Amino acid sequence: MAISDRIILHNMRFRGYHGTLPAERELGQRFEVDVELQLDLSRAMASDALEDTADYSRAYAVVQEEVEKRQYRLLETLAGSIARRLLAELPIMAVVVRVRKPQVPLPGMLAYSAVEIERRTEQ
C-alpha cells in the first residue's frame, strides 16, 4: 500500500539573491517556497510525539538557509538543493518543492515564474 501522508509548508517567503541577471544577484528579491514532505504519519498519530514525525521547524530552517544564505542562478538549482537537503536531513520518503519568483524581469506581465520538482529517497 502506498503512503500518501504529507506535511505541507505553504507559501514560505524569503529574500534571496538568485537569478541570471547581475541586478538580481546584487539587489535581491522575494522568493516563495512550498514543500510537501511525504512520510508515514501513523506512528506519530498514535504516539503524539515529535520524534515520530518530521520536524517541520527543521524543514523551514533548511529552506530558509538555502534561499537566504546561498546564491543560485537558476530556480531549478535552488529547488534541487532544497529537495536534496530535506531528503538527507529528515525521515521522509519523498518531497515536492515549489519555488516561485514573483518579480520576474520580463518585458510583460505575469504573476510569477516557478519550478516544481519531486524527488524520492533511493530504496
State how far the Cα of 114 lies from the Cα of 105, in Å rounded to an integer.
13
Q: How many CB atoms lie within 10 A of CB 96?
A: 17
Catalytic residue from among 47, 101, 113, 121: 101
For 35-50, letters b (16+ CB in 10 Å) and e give bbbbbebeebeeeeee
101 part of the active site:
yes
CA pseudo-torsion sign 67, 71, 73, 77: negative
- CB of 35 closer than 8 Å to CB of 3: no
Q: Name the residues annotated as catalytic.
A: 101
